[in-house]
Amino acid sequence: MSGGRVYLRPTAFVDAPYGLEGRAARLAGGLAWFAAVELIGRDGAELVPVAAIEARLAGLGEAARTAWANLTAPRPPLQLGARQVRLDQPQAMGIVNVTPDSFSDGGAFEDPERAVAAGHAMAAAGAAIVDVGGESTRPGAKPVWEGDEAARAVPVVARLAASGTAVSIDSRKAAVMEAALAAGAVMVNDVSALTWDPRAAEVAAAAGCPVVLMHHRGDPATMQDDPRYDRPVLLEIYDWLEARIGAATAAGIARERILVDPGFGFGKTVQHNLQLMNGLAMLHGLGCPLVVGASRKRTIGALSGEAPADRRLGGSIALALKAAEQGAQIVRVHDVAETVQALRVWRGLRDAALAPPRERP
């Protein structure tokens, strides 16, 4: 590498570290182990074995050494009110859109009773968190007045929280965040990464709750109008999220309460989304838990004969498992029962691989 920033992408994943002491590293304290790191700089890439990475990093600058420390550091449990959610294994976040125009369900949960029932069913099926939103952010969607958004989402948040469900409010508006947090929400999920509302960071900081910062390009109304990036999409996302983490901490949000979401489908083409998923493990270098929401997104339809949103379960599970194998701590999904089942089978495979050799059949 001849100068400039160097990014680290874990690769050469292995089933287990046995017999590879010093030659394999654990990714973010999860269930994935890798044996090599791709160093990506402005003049190309270099593949370095884990056994040689410490020596190689010595001349690459503080940012590269920090990224390596972040890649190999465990993520502490997520504190959601009185509940802790472990992040040493992938967790499911269920999606409840209390909107008339959601891309994924066409307003199926616009009725509050159905929305609450859906949230309860998701929690019973194994969702660690239920994410409630009152404004559609699908491509082409128009902004919703904060009063209408709160009227849709907050009663559902209150009823789910009262039943003991860990609820996240999916909003980019400070007033909606405030109302939902007062009603029992224990997490904020902002698709604008606290850029849309100038008061949002202040509200999140005062609440002291976990906050998801999501990458996006443009706003929902225009984000899919020929999105372009000057550099490889993964590198731009990395830098953008790093800047947003810095802005959030400067606003008083504790770093350990920040999660990041690369924004699958938000200002990205199909090719951008595929590149993002293939290189996802790099984002652990930011040092924050990783949330991935690819469920029912258009990329799945584009790769499967333009299948409509309600016929994208197989593709959604494929992307959830791709995220899990690269260490994503939370997958945000519509089909909770099916995804949790897939993750449990995946976890069983990982547990079998990670059992000491003498305990295997």
Does position 104 have pLDDT exceeding 60, yes or no?
no
Does residue 359 sit within a domain? no
Domain limit, last residue, from 52, 72, 92: 72
CATH code of 148's domain: 3.20.20.20
**Looking at the structure, do residues 54 and 186 belong to the same domain, yes or no?**
no
**Looking at the structure, do residues 58 and 166 belong to the same domain, yes or no?**
no
Does residue 212 sit within a domain? yes
**Looking at the structure, do residues 44 and 121 belong to the same domain, yes or no?**
no
**Looking at the structure, do residues 185 and 228 belong to the same domain, yes or no?**
yes
Does position 329 have pLDDT exceeding 90, yes or no?
yes
Does position 201 have pLDDT exceeding 80, yes or no?
yes
Q: What is the pLDDT of residue 109?
A: 78
Mean pLDDT of 82-105: 87
What are the residue numbers of the active site? 297, 332
**Looking at the structure, do residues 67 and 210 belong to the same domain, yes or no?**
no
* Confidence band, pLDDT 50/70/90 cuts, at residue 142: confident
| Percent residues over pLDDT 90 in the chain | 84
Q: What is the pLDDT of residue 144?
A: 87
**Looking at the structure, do residues 22 and 88 belong to the same domain, yes or no?**
no
pLDDT in tens, 308-320: 999 999 999 999 9
**Looking at the structure, do residues 158 and 285 belong to the same domain, yes or no?**
yes
* Confidence band, pLDDT 50/70/90 cuts, at residue 336: very high
**Of the listed ranges 9-23, 156-170, 218-232, 251-265, the one predicted with least confidence:** 218-232
Does position 297 have pLDDT exceeding 60, yes or no?
yes
Does residue 226 sit within a domain? yes
**Looking at the structure, do residues 23 and 67 belong to the same domain, yes or no?**
yes
**Looking at the structure, do residues 103 and 31 belong to the same domain, yes or no?**
no
Q: What is the pLDDT of residue 111?
A: 87
Number of folded domains in the chain? 2
* Confidence band, pLDDT 50/70/90 cuts, at residue 2: low
- Residues 170-192: b if buried by 16+ CB within 10 A, e if exposed: bbbbbbbbbbbbebbbbbbbbbb
What is d(CA 171, CA 182) in angstroms, rounded to the nearest whole number?
14
**Looking at the structure, do residues 38 and 129 belong to the same domain, yes or no?**
no
Does position 106 have pLDDT exceeding 60, yes or no?
no
Mean of pLDDT over the chain: 93
Domain limit, last residue, from 72, 91, 122: 72
**Of the listed ranges 13-17, 143-147, 296-300, 319-323, the one predicted with least confidence:** 143-147
- Using a CB cutoff of 8 Å and minimum separation of 24, what contacts does 162-168 make? 163/120, 163/123, 165/119, 165/120, 165/123, 165/130, 166/80, 166/81, 166/83, 166/85, 166/128, 166/129, 166/130, 167/119, 167/129, 167/130, 167/131, 167/132, 168/93, 168/129, 168/130, 168/131, 168/132, 168/212
Does position 359 have pLDDT exceeding 70, yes or no?
no
For residue 31, what are the domain limits?
A: 7-72
